[in-house]
Amino acid sequence: MAKNLVIVESPAKAKTIGGFLGSDFLVKSCFGHIRDLSKSDISVDVENNFQPKYEVSPDKKDIIKELTKLSKEAETVWLASDEDREGEAISWHLLEALNLNQDNTKRIVFHEITKPAILKAIDSPRKIDYNLVNAQQARRVLDRIVGYELSPVLWKKVKPSLSAGRVQSVAVRLLVERERDITAFSTSSSFRVVALLSFQHEGKSYTLKATLPRKIQTYEEAETFVNACNNANFTIIDVEKKPSRRTPSAPFTTSTLQQEASRKLGFSVSQTMVVAQKLYEAGRITYMRTDSVNLSDTAIQSAKNQINSAYGERYHKARQFTTKSKGAQEAHEAIRPTYMEQTPEKGDTQENRLYELIWKRTLASQMADAEIEKTVVKIAISGLEEQLEALGEVVIFDGFLKVYSESFDDAPEEEEVSNLLPPVAKGMRLELNELTATQKFSSPPPRYTEAALVKKLEELGIGRPSTYAPTISTIQKRNYVVKEEREGTPRNYKVITLKDSSVSDTEKTEITGHEKNKLFPTDIGTVVNDFLVENFEQIMDYNFTAKVEKEFDEIAEGLQEWTLMLKSFYQPFIKTVSKTLEESERATGARHLGVDPKTGKNIYVRIGRYGALAQIGENEDEEKKFSNLRQGQRLETISLEEAIDLFKLPRKLEMFEDKDINIGTGRFGPYIRHDSKFYSIPKDEDPLEITTERAIEIILAKRKADAEKVIKIFNETDPLIQVLNGRWGPYISKGKENFKIPKGTDPNSLNLTDVEAIIADDANKPKKMVGKAKAATAASKKTKSKKK
Partner DNA sequence: CAGTGAGCGAGCTTCCGCTTGACTT
Cβ-based neighbours of 62, under 8 Å, separated by 6 or more: none
Dihedral pair phi/psi, residue 562, rounded to 5°: -65, -35
d(CA 517, CA 576): 37
Of the candidates 267, 287, 355, 573, which one interacts with DNA according to CB under 7 A? Answer: 287
Residue 282 CB, nearest approach to DNA (Å): 11
> Catalytic site residue 731?
no
Q: Which residues does residue 602 pair with via DSSP β-bridges, in sequence order?
A: 595
From the number of C-beta atoms within 10 Å of its C-beta (0-12, 13-18, 19+), residue 348 rates as exposed
What φ, ψ does residue 177 adopt, rounded to 5°?
-70, -35
Among 106, 111, 144, 734, the residue binding DNA under the rule CB under 7 A is 144
Q: Which of 111, 115, 91 is nearest to 16 (CA)?
A: 115
Would you say 401 or 663 has its CB closer to DNA?
Answer: 663
Cα gap 578→10, rounded to integer Å: 42
Which of the residues 287, 355, 404, 480 is marked catalytic?
A: 287
Whose Cβ is closer to DNA: residue 383's or residue 611's?
611
CB under 7 A: which stretch of 10-18, 103-111, 259-267, 571-579 binds DNA?
Answer: 10-18
Q: Is 312 left (phi over 0), alpha (psi -120 to 50) or beta?
A: left
End-to-end CA distance of the chain: 37
The answer to whether residue 33 forms part of the interface with DNA (CB under 7 A) is yes
For DNA, the closer of residues 404 and 570 by Cβ is 570
SS3 label, residue 240: strand
| Shortest reach from residue 86's CB to DNA, in Å | 4
| Residues 607-636 within binding reach of DNA (CB under 7 A) | 608-611, 613, 619, 626-628
Is residue 427 involved in binding DNA (CB under 7 A)? no
Contacts with DNA in 329-388 (CB under 7 A)? 329
Least Å from the CB of residue 280 to DNA: 7
Q: Does 163 bind DNA (CB under 7 A)?
A: yes
Subset of residues 625 to 684 that bind DNA, contact rule: CB under 7 A: 626-628, 650, 664, 666-669, 671, 678-680
Alpha carbon distance 737, 587 (integer Å): 45
In the region spanning residues 167 to 206, those forming contacts with DNA, defined by CB under 7 A, are 167-169
Mutual orientation of helices 168-184 and 468-477 as an angle, nearest 10°?
70
Under the criterion CB under 7 A, does residue 703 sit at the interface with DNA? no
Contact 622, 641 (CB under 8 A): no
Q: Is 18 exposed, middle or buried (0-12, 13-18, 19+ CB in 10 A)?
A: middle
Q: Give me the least distance between CB of 155 and DNA, in Å please.
A: 4
Q: Which of residues 429-468 bind DNA (CB under 7 A)?
A: 463-467
CA–CA distances in Å: residue 617 to residues 614, 623, 650: 10, 7, 19
Size of site (CB under 7 A) for DNA: 79
CB of 487 to DNA, least distance (A): 19
Question: Based on CB atoms, which residue is closest to DNA, 256 or 375?
Answer: 256
**Member of 148, 267, 400, 536 binding DNA (CB under 7 A):** 148
Closer of 314 and 781 to DNA (Cβ): 781
Interacting residues with DNA between 78 and 107 (CB under 7 A):
82, 84-86, 90
Task: Give the range of 137-145, 348-356, 575-583, 737-745 binding DNA by CB under 7 A.
Answer: 137-145
- Amino acid letter for position 683: K
CA distance 618 to 614: 11
Of the residues 32, 444, 513, 747, which one makes contact with DNA according to CB under 7 A: 32
- Shortest distance, position 391 Cβ to DNA, whole Å: 44
Burial (CB count <10 Å: 0-12, 13-18, 19+), residue 779 = exposed
Q: Is the CB of 136 or the CB of 262 nearer to DNA?
A: 136
**CA distance linking residue 74 with residue 2, whole number of Å:** 6
611, β-bridge pairs: 608
Per-position b or e across 697-717, b if 16+ CB within 10 A of its CB: ebbeebeeeeeeeeebebeee
Q: Based on the shown chain and the rule CB under 7 A, indicate whether residue 157 belongs to the binding site for DNA.
A: no
DSSP for 377-437 reads: EEEEETT-S-EEEEEEEEEEE-GGGGT-----TT--SS--SBSS-----TT-EEEEEEEEE
User: In the range 265-284, which residues lie near DNA by CB under 7 A?
Assistant: 277, 280-281
Nearest partner of 453 among 476, 473, 472, judged by Cα: 472
Nearer to DNA, 31 or 339 (CB): 31
Mark 222-241 with x for binding to DNA (rule: CB under 7 A) and - for no binding: --------------------
| Stretch touching DNA by CB under 7 A, among 36-44, 98-106, 118-126, 185-193 | 36-44
* Contacts to DNA from residues 54-73, by CB under 7 A: 57, 59
Q: x/- site string to DNA, residues 380 to 399, per CB under 7 A?
A: --------------------
With respect to DNA, which residue has the nearer C-beta, 368 or 643? 643
User: Near DNA by CB under 7 A, which window of 32-40, 297-305, 442-450, 494-502?
Assistant: 32-40
| Euclidean distance between CA atoms 759 and 737, whole angstroms | 10
Classify residue 88 by burial, with Cβ atoms within 10 Å: 0-12, 13-18, 19+: buried
Q: Which of residues 289-328 bind DNA (CB under 7 A)?
A: 289
> Which of 21, 165, 451, 453 touches DNA (CB under 7 A)?
165
State which of positions 472-531 bind DNA (CB under 7 A).
474, 478
Binding window for DNA (CB under 7 A); candidates: 100-108, 154-162, 436-444, 447-455: 154-162
Minimum distance from residue 628 beta carbon to DNA (Å): 5
**Could you tell me the smallest distance in angstroms from the CB atom of residue 549 to DNA?**
9
629 contacts 645 by C-beta, under 8 angstroms: no
Cα 568-573-574 angle, rounded to 5 deg: 110
481 or 496, CB closer to DNA? 481
Catalytic site positions: 287
